[in-house]
Structure formats: structure tokens, C-alpha cells
Structure 1
Amino acid sequence: MAKHYLAESNFAREFGLHRKYARSEMLLDLVWTHSVIVCDIAESVLNSGRFDLGQVDLGVVRQSALLFDIGAYLTDGFDWMPDQPPSGKPYIQHTVVGAWVLQQEGLPATVVQTARNHSGVGITRQDIDDFGLHLPVDDYLPSTLTQRLVSYSCKFHSKAPKFKTVEDIERQLRKYGKAKIEVFRRMVEEFGDVNVKYFEQKYQNWHRSFLYQLENLTPTAQTAAVQAGKRLNSAGIAMPTSTMSSPAGESIAMAEPQQNLAKMDPSRRKPST
């Protein structure tokens, strides 16, 4: 019997792209449903009365929210799940990998840039240096309403999977310094708090079902992850316990996405000589 996924018939094109790049049914279920939840949260924020909906393209917001995390299928971190192969690219790169995929698929620039810039509350060149992030050196900052909205909405649900409150999010941001917390607080001022209890209740059946699968899988998965020199973090993402491969090697791996993103955004192109 074929498995059915939340809202797959409502968003056939977006689900089709998830299906195209997913190798693991379990990861497809997780990433797709996470994206549906983020989309739902984003729509609730838009409908809060804070915004002039006549100035917002709801279709683009939905598409951006449903596709922002598609790079998770093509980076490491969930390769402990059944049928999910390792990629050799660290999970932090799921943003730029996802942006490259969406550009190749012909998605609008807003959707592409939302995938590229959604991580945290934005990543700067200085952050990459300070925290040793394995990303092409650049700024990854959500600059438009759609980008900020999706970046904000995805903070309230993780791929653990679990919902998070404003307080939970601020606790997680502390390790990155007060400046990141201040950025997040400005986002709260712009978009308002999210009724997490409402969404917990709305999606509790899916969470219970998925967590049941996870509980039955995790002992084996953890063993495999440890044997591969990895540990699972609180979001279920496998993190290397040893040093990652050299930044030079990762730059080579990311050369194609970086090059193609430059084609899309003229500001990233090198001046001609």
C-alpha cells in the first residue's frame, strides 16, 4: 500500500520535487512534513493582521516555505536513515545546495534565495570565520519579507521533530552571542509570537507516528552512526565526532552550486577584465 504524505495533493509540484531528490522514504516524510508545518506557520503569521496581504504574493511564500529545506536530501546528517546515502557534503551546506537545486529546477529567484539564506537568523562572513562554518565565504542574510518570514517560521519547528517556543529558540542562540538573540528579537517584533500549542495539537498525530518509527529505528541508527565516527545531535542530525575534511575539499565540492548562484545574482559575479 502506497504511503500518503500530508498535503501532497495540495502542493503537487513542490511535493514532486521533494520526491525527486529524496532517497529515503523516512527522510522524505520528515523533511516534507517539516516544510508543510513551516508553511502553515508562515501563513498564520501573514494572517495575524500585521501585514497588508495585498502586498504579499502568497503563492511565492508557500512555495518558498515548502522548498527551503530541499538541500537536506543531498547533504550528510541523515544518512543513518534507511536508504539515505552519504553525500560527502556537511549538513551546514544544505542551504547552498538547496538553492542550487532550486535554481536548476527553474524556481523563481525569491524561492532560491530563501533556501540559501534561511539558516539561523542569518549567517555573515564573520560568522563563517568565527564559528568555522564549512560554507563558501559570503553573507547569507534573509533580506526580503518572504526570506525573513520563512527563516523565522522554521525556527519554531525542528527536524527532531519537535516544536520550539521563543524561549527555546533564544536558548539555542546563546552560544552564538547576544547579537544573534537581538536579531531574533527584532524578528519577533516584526512577525509576532507563534501559537506553538495550536500547532502541536494540529500535528500531534503525525509527530506520534514519526517518533514511533524513530524510537524503533534509533538504537540501530545510533550504532551505525557511532561506527561511522558520528554522533546524533538533538535534532537527530548526525554530526562528525572527528574533524571534517579540509575546507579546500569542501570548496571544490561546492564549486558548482556557488558558480551557478553567481549566474543568478549579478552582485556575486566577478568583474570582467
Structure 2
Amino acid sequence: MSISVKLEAFEGPLDLLLHLIDKNKVNIYDIPIVEIADQYMEYINNMEDKDLDIMSEFLVMAATLLNIKSKMLLPKDETKEEEEDPRQELVERLLEYKMFKYISEELKDKELDAARVFFKEPTIPEEIEGFKEEIDTESLLADLTLAKLHKIFESVVKKQTDKIDPIRSKFGKIEREEINLTAKLLSIQAYGLKHRKFSFRKLLEAQPTKMEIIVTFLGVLELMKIGQVIIQQDNLFDDITVTFTGDTIAEFDDRVVLE
């Protein structure tokens, strides 16, 4: 089957392929490669411009189409469950090119719309441009007294006082608490050497702050990881029993700090 193609200028081989796909009204995901390749070669043979720089791009695509065409004509290997479609790479290139072509057309429309917009430059009449309002400082300061100045000062101070939150201002300074995880690990090990078996809940309840509780919990997990302690819970929701199995206190890197 042949198709009459108007010999118009295309931006490249992908542009020509999209034109042929649209002309034949075929699905881009299921390109009839034999038919499209024949029409593509017909266009190449009828090209008026034989410039090698331009023709080289079209010839490379022609070789690609012929390669795909030959693969499509080969009998399928029944031993393979699923063979890769030889058209897949070409379809992906066409879709990418089509997307960028659409974007370029959208940008071109915006450029045309912007060319129709005119902005008026700011202009000020000469009579107004040089106008400056004169302020009579003598009349303003004529009736100014010490009592009025004091009243103005009090109003300014009151505005500053009103900005202060009466509750939050009494909180004091909030500082970030820094806990040394290495020191906590050594402390837990010393506690374990002394008691050997102890309650996990009581160990946490003995910590003075929430951050100390968190770091103690992390410390027990770390000691479990290196095999220094074993935890046990007989029944659901029962207290967890911690058994210290080490004979000595293990050393850790002093740079381990949890903030």
C-alpha cells in the first residue's frame, strides 16, 4: 500500500514518522512497521534536497526502520516465553519527541499572546513631579510642652508592654537538653553488674527527665545488640525483666552523643 505524501520540510526523521503515523491513523503503540517503513523510504527517495547533512539523519532512521522490519519478519522463537518488541525503543523516542513538540507549540502560543500585550509606562506630569509638600515645623512645635512629650512617651511604652505575652513571658529560657549516650551505657552496665537482674520499668522510672528515659531505653537496646543484657517477659503486659550477662563493662566511642 502506498500513500501520497506531500514533499514538505520536516524538522527531522521523528517528525516525518509522526506525520506518517497520523496520516495512516494507526496506534503509536502498535506501529505497522512494514507499511510505515515502505512509506518512509518512498519519501526519502523523493526528497528534493539531497544535502548530506540533512539526508544523513533520515538515512540513519531508515536503517533503523529496516532493522526493525527485518526483526518483525523473522519467525518468533517459541522457546522464549516473552520476547521484547523490537519497536519498543522507537515508540519511546516518538513519545518523547511528541511531548517536547507539544510543549514547544504551547510556548509558541504563549509568545504570540505575549506579543499582543502592551504595558503603559509610568508617566507623571511635570507639575506634580517636582511637587514637595512643605511642612511647617515651627507651628507643629509651637504648642509642644514637656507634659505632651511625657504623654507621648507613656503611650509608646504602653504599646511595647502590650506586645508582651503575660503567660509565655514567665516561661523562662527553654534550652535543649544534651544527653551523653556513652555515659548512659556505662551507667546501665554498672547498674547491671550490681543487681544482675532488675525491672525494666523501675529502671526507666528512676530517670529524672523524659530525655533520660529515652536515652536509657536506647541504651538497653544497644546492650541487647552486643549481647550484654537479655530481656524476658513471661506474660502479655507483664513487667519486662532485664538480666545483665556481662562480666565487665564494655567501652564505647565517646563521640556518640544524643541530643
**TM-score in terms of structure 2 length:** 0.21
Structure with the larger RCO, 1 or 2 (CA within 8 Å, 6+ apart):
1
Q: Which has the higher helix share?
A: 1
